[in-house]
Structure 1
Amino acid sequence: MYKVFIVEDEPKIAEMLAAHLEKYGYQPYVACNFKNLKQEFLEVRPHLVLLDINLPYFDGFYWCRQIRTVSNVPIVYVSARSGEMDQVMAIENGGDDYLTKPFHLDVVLAKLKSLLRRTYGEYAYSVSSSDILDLSGLVLDRSRFTAEFRDRSIHLSKTEFQLLEALARKAGQAVSRETLLETLWDDTTFVDDNTLTVNVTRLRKKLEELGLGDCIETIRRHRYKLNVQWADEQAAWMGGEEP
């Protein structure tokens, strides 16, 4: 039974979500310690978090960042804020998806099911020796969601890692947005196309920390390509030469 941590300060909404999830076999936990949600999260150890933005003491963006310091659990924002910037901030602060209030309970359930399948179910990655992908010195570790290049390492969210891996496995080739959407989300019915754009932007920023910020190319707005232009430089670097 999957445990869902509901972080919502409106009792009626929290109770409605909890009742609906329980009806379909989930184990809901409604947050009560808004001063220390991170501690409550650690005590509950949920499989997924439904997170509001407007909360007492600290907002949802803050708590999402706090949770990300200890867990890669899927986090879905559920908020009355409908602006694009709020959705961008939600993704940039570590969220996996975004729902706008008022919402339909079946949509919440569909997104929740999709994320849980991706993370724990039949579409989840298993940990094995094949979890390491070395692309001309860019090393991806699926078991830890990390990317390493030369002497630097970055930690990626699950969605960011899946996006980078999908591009890496077809390095040098253009990959359509439709293909990436289907790779990242098994049910794209309720996925906002802007979500992919936001994740690409986040991934580019993180790759900048490795010195690879320009390696993802946008091609006519509908496709993306991972260029391995660092391969020759990596060979020189491994040989002790200045690239």
Structure 2
Amino acid sequence: MNKPQILVVEDDPAIGNLIATTLETQDYQYHRAKTGTGAVMDALSFRPDVVLLDLGLPDIDGVDIIKKIRAWSNMPIIVVSARSEDSDKVAALDAGADDYLTKPFSVDELLARLRVALRRVRYDNEKTSGEASLYENGGLKIDYAAGCAYRDGVEIHLTPIEYKLLCLLAKNTGKVLTHNYILGEIWGGPAVSDTPSLRVFMATLRKKLEKDPGHPQYIQTHIGVGYRMIRQKQDSEL
């Protein structure tokens, strides 16, 4: 089995060394870039499984790097940045980042986020050509052809909007979707609906999907940012 390939884009030597040491302990292969220009070139030539990206680089802002990579690739991008404002997180995620980790961070959290991204890579690679007609994630199943969803074998009766929300989250499992992105995909844009309305629909979806909506298993809220579908561990990962 090939070792995961990680591109580390970080101009701070101390943080870059910390990340590199962490990856080495987990037997990941990695390549380091210290500039935005180098990051884009390395992403093209190195074709990593995951990119760990700092936003505050000396030549190009990280959000612009995300846009450049997204123009040709859907490889997972995890932002690792000192910028902690919700507006910075939303800008990066709207540009196409999959996740956002704020400095200072714990090594365990970095590895956890990385495992989520790599599970998504494995899942995408296992798909047959074309879109899979059946989505499975723990006890959740979606039959796209029939337009039905099930939890633990029992059909979940969803409204059209709830079903569209569930499918959007499912097709982006492991990725944080911002409020604006969801509004644009489901209703055509923020002008058509608004975040409070989205919260209401998400709350009703959770009540139908989650065994305990107060402690959600599938849909994770990122306060002020958006939502993420959590990929459940398979038996082989337990």
Counterpart pick for 1:104 among 106, 117, 133: 106
Deviation at 1:117, TM superposition (A): 0.7
Query: What is the TM-score of this pair, normalised by structure 1?
Result: 0.61
Query: What is the TM-score of this pair, normalised by structure 2?
Result: 0.62
Asked whether the 8 Å contact 2:9–2:35 carries over to 1, the reply is no
Aligned length: 179
Asked whether the 8 Å contact 2:10–2:54 carries over to 1, the reply is yes
CA distance in 2, matches of 1:17, 1:131: 35
Partner of 1:205: 184
Partner of 2:227: none
CA distance in 2, matches of 1:129, 1:14: 38
Asked whether the 8 Å contact 1:5–1:49 carries over to 2, the reply is yes
Relative distance call for 1:127 and 1:103 in structure 2 (3 A) is same
Q: How does 1:1-243 map to 2 (within 5 A)?
A: 1-121=3-123, 126-128=127-129, 131=132, 169=148, 172=159, 174=162, 195-196=176-177, 198=178, 200-206=179-185, 218=198, 219=200, 222-223=203-204
Q: One-letter code of the match for 2:99?
A: D
CA distance in 2, matches of 1:125, 1:223: 32
Asked whether the 8 Å contact 1:38–1:66 carries over to 2, the reply is yes
Deviation at 1:41, TM superposition (A): 1.2
Partner of 1:240: none
Aligned-residue sequence identity (percent) comes to 32
CA distance in 2, matches of 1:95, 1:130: 22
Relative distance call for 1:128 and 1:42 in structure 2 (3 A) is closer
Q: What is the root-mean-square deviation in Å for CA atoms of aligned residues?
A: 3.7
Q: One-letter code of the match for 2:181?
A: R
CA distance in 2, matches of 1:129, 1:181: 18
Q: One-letter code of the match for 2:203?
A: H
Deviation at 1:206, TM superposition (A): 4.5
- 5+ residue gaps, structure 2, are 136-143, 150-157, 207-238
Asked whether the 8 Å contact 2:36–2:65 carries over to 1, the reply is no
Q: One-letter code of the match for 2:60?
A: F
Partner of 1:241: none
Asked whether the 8 Å contact 1:114–1:185 carries over to 2, the reply is no
Deviation at 1:81, TM superposition (A): 0.8
CA distance in 1, matches of 2:182, 2:168: 14
Partner of 1:136: none
CA distance in 2, matches of 1:8, 1:129: 35
Relative distance call for 1:27 and 1:172 in structure 2 (3 A) is same
Deviation at 1:132, TM superposition (A): 6.4
SS at match of 2:80: strand
- 5+ residue gaps, structure 1, are 134-141, 143-164, 226-243
